Amino acid sequence: CVTLDVQAACQDATVTQELLKEGFHRDLLVKVELGGAREDAGGCAVAARTRLPSGIYVDPYELASLQQHNLTKAVLIPDVVDVEAPEYLATDLLVLLYLNPDPRCSRCFQAALPVHGRYHRPAEESEEVLVVLKSPEVLVCCCDNHLSAECWKPAEVEAPCPGKNVSPCQWYSVMHKPAYEESVLQVPVGLRQHSSFVCVVTLLVTVLCSSLILAAVCNNRHFS
């Protein structure tokens, strides 16, 4: 587990959440600066638990690849995600993102997670929809210490404490103050008045491609 040297009493942690890049494929960057605790909290790990709305998802295959290369560590609930589903057929996703210590700050932790916007229904006027992402909950897992219930309250988390072979570990919810209450993802969408035009163009392209494929098959048969 990550070792924390915490000396002060029940001070709030500070949470910053940012959506990096543009378009459908973004990086969710979470930074946490812990407050203090009146007792020793050595041997602890820090994580951020956030609920992604149906308009955002994490690709479990991409996450598995990143975890294999030790680039990030997270737990998805549920762990089966339909990456092809549009927003109106998808469900919320709970993510537990393990944070790494910041070498420049003894009480600072951060981690980034790739997230993707889902396709939405066409809109009437605006060419984009807003997906609101609430501030995450800060969790601390202290495998070797009993912490005061006055400061950190037990949380129900079905995930191991990193660095420990014994599971489950008891996670605690930490009081925190977000730098921003929520983050907003702007997802491009089509306009409903363009539906007829899109259907016609799609049909013409389909017919053209089918004709080219059919012509290629006939030519191959002729030479054989």
Q: List the beta strands (DSSP E) in the chain.
A: 13-20, 25-33, 44-52, 56-57, 74-77, 93-98, 100-101, 108-117, 128-134, 137-142, 152-155, 171-174, 176-178, 182-188
pLDDT in tens, 7-64: 344 567 788 888 898 888 999 999 988 775 434 344 578 899 999 999 999 999 999 9
pLDDT in tens, 172-208: 788 777 766 678 877 776 555 556 666 767 777 888 8
